[in-house]
Amino acid sequence: MGAAGGDGTETASADAKPGPTVTVTETAAAAKPAKGESKPAPTVTVTKTVKPKAEKRKAEKPKQDAEPAEEAPAGQVVFKVWGSAPAGVDINYGSDNDSRSGKGLPFEKTLQLSDDALYYNVYAQLMGGGDINCSVTVNGETKKAHSSGDYNICTAQMNGGLLGGWD
């Protein structure tokens, strides 16, 4: 806002980023003259500049919880972990008879589907703060999970059905 006696304009700082703006000027209703005065009191004009909503949305960070696209090819199992883990994440994945480990985000590994496996799972533990998602995909069926906060664990598991198939 302008200072008293000023022209009512504001100046931008040297490090302000240029962009489209909308300026709205509103004038207060005329004041009635005070007792004993023949002229009305001066009016007040307020000018504010706002950023359009579309520009606010562009400035936001893209969501980290969107799963990377890709389905498991027939006869294979896909393990995924994605999100944000500034202090790192410890990842274990595999089946009841084959356990493996991995690191880094985004993480994606593919294994051959084994007829002997009872289940496939992914287990990802945050090594401090963060926000991660994980998934296991077998024959087009996917199980997903989410974890957020210090040292929390994201785990997703697909189980072999009694009559075949995966759930």
The greatest distance separating any two alpha carbons of the chain, rounded to the nearest whole angstrom, comes to: 99
Kindly report the length of the chain: 167
Tell me, what's the pLDDT at 25?
61
Contact 123, 136 (CB under 8 A): no
pLDDT average per 10 residues of sequence, the chain (167 residues): 48 52 59 62 61 50 52 86 97 97 96 93 96 95 96 96 79
Q: Flag whether the pTM goes above 0.85.
A: no
Tell me, what's the pLDDT at 3?
45
Tell me, what's the pLDDT at 18?
57
Tell me, what's the pLDDT at 44?
62
Tell me, what's the pLDDT at 38?
65
Strand partners, 24: 48
Instruction: Give burial (CB, 10 Å; 0-12/13-18/19+) of 90.
Output: middle
For residue 150, the tally of other CB atoms under 10 A from its CB is: 10
